[in-house]
Structure 1
C-alpha cells in the first residue's frame, strides 16, 4: 500500500488577514538555508539591499499565523513555537529547529501587527529526507512526485537536492494540524512516481 504524502504549504497569504514575511536575512550564528551554490549571490543581494538579519514582515495584515509564508528567500515558510511544541509533544522526529527572530515590520500606519505580540518563528528540518522529482505545471505551479522505494516511513520529510526548503508529511501531520488548529496551513497531495 502506498503512503499518502502531502506537501506542507502556507495558506492563501495575500488574500487573508495573516501576516507574511517579505523576506529574511540569515543570522551569522545559525543556518542560512541558502543552497551553497547560491550563498555568494545571496550575501551580495542582502548587502546591496541593506537588510539586517532576521525576518521582514509585511505590515498590511492583522493576525500572526502559525505558518508564516516567506515571499523572498530559500525558506518557503516559518513555523510558530506552537507548531514546534505540538510536533515534539506528538513525538514527531525532527532533525533540527532553527529560530529566526523578526527583524522588522514594514512601517504602515494602518498596521495592527505588534512586534511584542509576534510568536517566535522557526525553520523545522525533518529527520527523514526523500528524493523528490519536481515538474512545472502549465500554471507555473510546482508538482512533486517521489519514488516509493526511497520512503522511510517517517511522518515529516524534507526535500533532497533542491534550492528551496520544502517539507512534506503523512496524514498524521495533517490530522495533528487540524486537531491543534494550526493557522494558515495547507496540504497538497504528492503522488508516487
Structure 2
C-alpha cells in the first residue's frame, strides 16, 4: 500500500465497494480446476435427476450449522430446520419454488426435513448428495491427508450447488455461509441470504 497511496482505478471499477473487490479475490482463489469441476459435475449427475444442475432451477439452498458453533458459544443456540423454513416458506411459494437443497454437518437434519415436508403436504422436492456428516474444523484437522482430500471434494461439491442456487438460507455465524454468500455475489446473485440469527457472535477463546 505504501507504493500506491492514491491508486488509480479503471473507470469501470471506480464505484466498486471494498466488498466487491473482496469477493472477486475470493472467487479467483476458489476457482475450480478442470478435474475438480468434473468431479463435482459427476457427483451431481449421480444424485440429481435430471443429472444437470441447470435443469433444477429454480431451487433454494439451505445450510444448517450447529454442533461446535453452539458448544463454543459462537452461536447463542442451535436452530431447528423448521425455523429456517419459516423464514422463506411464504416467499418460495409465491415464486413457485419447490426444489430445496439441504446441507448440514448434522445428519439428523434430513429426518427433520421429512417431518416438515409431511406438514407441508409434500410441497418440497429434496435435492441432496451423499456426503460425510459430523465434520467440523477440529475433526477435519485430525484426519489423514487422504481423508481430508475426500472431504474437501465433498465441500467443493456443496459449494458449487449452493453458490448456483436461486436463493440461499444460512447461518449468520457460519464461515461457510459467508463463503457461499461471497461466491454468490461474484456470480451476480445479490439477494441477501435468509438467516434465523439476528446478531453475529465471535468467541476468540482458543479451542482445544
TM-score of the superposed pair, with normalisation by structure 1 = 0.29
TM-score (norm 2): 0.27
Tell me which protein shows more helix as a share of its residues.
Answer: 2
Kindly name which structure, 1 or 2, has the bigger radius of gyration based on alpha carbons: 2
